[in-house]
A and B are shown apart, each in its own frame.
Chain A
Amino acid sequence: MALTYYTLRDLGLSSTSFTYGFGFDLAELHISTTRYYFEQVKERIDAGHAWSGDGRGAADKVLHLNSLALATSETQMSAGKTAVQALGLALTRARDEAKTALEPIEKMAEGTPFRILVGADGRVGPVVEGPKGPDFNLEYSDLSNYLYKEAEVAQLKLESILTFARSADLAAATLFNRIYHLRPVFSATASSDAIEYNEALHDIAKQNLSLAEFTYQLWNGISSEDLLEVQPQGWSWWGAIKGAFIPESAEELAYETGWGLIKAGLGTVYPFFQKAISVHGKYEMIDGWFKGGHHGPSISDPDIPDLLSLNPVAHHSDLQGKVEEFYGGYGSLTVAQLAKLQSLGQLEDDGHDYVADAEELWSWLNGWIDANPPVFPESSPDPLTPEELDLLRDWKLAFRLARELDAAIH
Chain B
Amino acid sequence: MAEIEVRPALLRAIGNDCETDVAPVIGRAESAFDDASSLSSLGLGELLSAGPLTNCYTGWRGTFREGTTAMHSLSDKIRGTAAVVDAADQNIADLYRGDIPEMPPIAVNIGGI
Contacts and interface: CB of A to CB of B under 8 A. Distances in A.
Tell whether A pairs with B: yes
Interface of A: 1-4, 7, 10-13, 17, 22-24, 26-27, 29-31, 33-34, 37-38, 40-41, 44-45, 49-55, 57-59, 61-63, 66, 69-70, 73, 76-77, 80, 84, 87, 166, 169-170, 172-174, 176-191, 193-194, 197, 200-201, 204, 262, 265-266, 269-270, 272-273, 276, 278, 281-283, 285, 303-305
A283 B36 contact: no
Given A180-B56, A197-B106, A54 B89 contact: yes
Contact of B111 (A10, A51, A173): A173
Given A22-B36, A51-B81, A185 B100 contact: yes
B86 interface: no
A249 to B, nearest CB: 15
A169 B45 CA distance: 12
8 contacts: A22-B39, A50-B6, A59-B95, A73-B63, A172-B47, A181-B108, A186-B70, A190-B96
Contacts of B39: 22
B70 A22 contact: no
A52 B110 CA distance: 46
A177 B54 CA distance: 10
Nearest to B93: A55
A397 to B, nearest CB: 24
Interface string B47-78: 11111110111011011101101110110111
Contacts of B35: 23, 26
A26 B26 CA distance: 11
Majority SS of interface residues in chain A?
A: helix
Contact of A172 (B3, B49, B91): B49
A180 B55 contact: yes
A70 B91 CA distance: 28
Secondary structure at the B interface, as helix, strand, loop or mixed, is helix
Interface of B: 2-7, 10-11, 14, 17-18, 21-22, 25-26, 28-29, 32-37, 39, 42-53, 55-57, 59-60, 62-64, 66-67, 69-71, 73-74, 76-78, 81, 89-113
B103 A282 contact: yes
A34 B105 contact: no
A177 B49 CA distance: 8
Which 8 residue pairs of A and B lie closest in terms of their CB atoms, listed nearest first? A55-B92, A23-B36, A176-B52, A188-B73, A58-B96, A30-B29, A27-B32, A26-B32
B78 A53 contact: no
Contact of B5 (A51, A73, A181): A51
A231 to B, nearest CB: 31
A311 B91 CA distance: 62
A176 B60 CA distance: 11
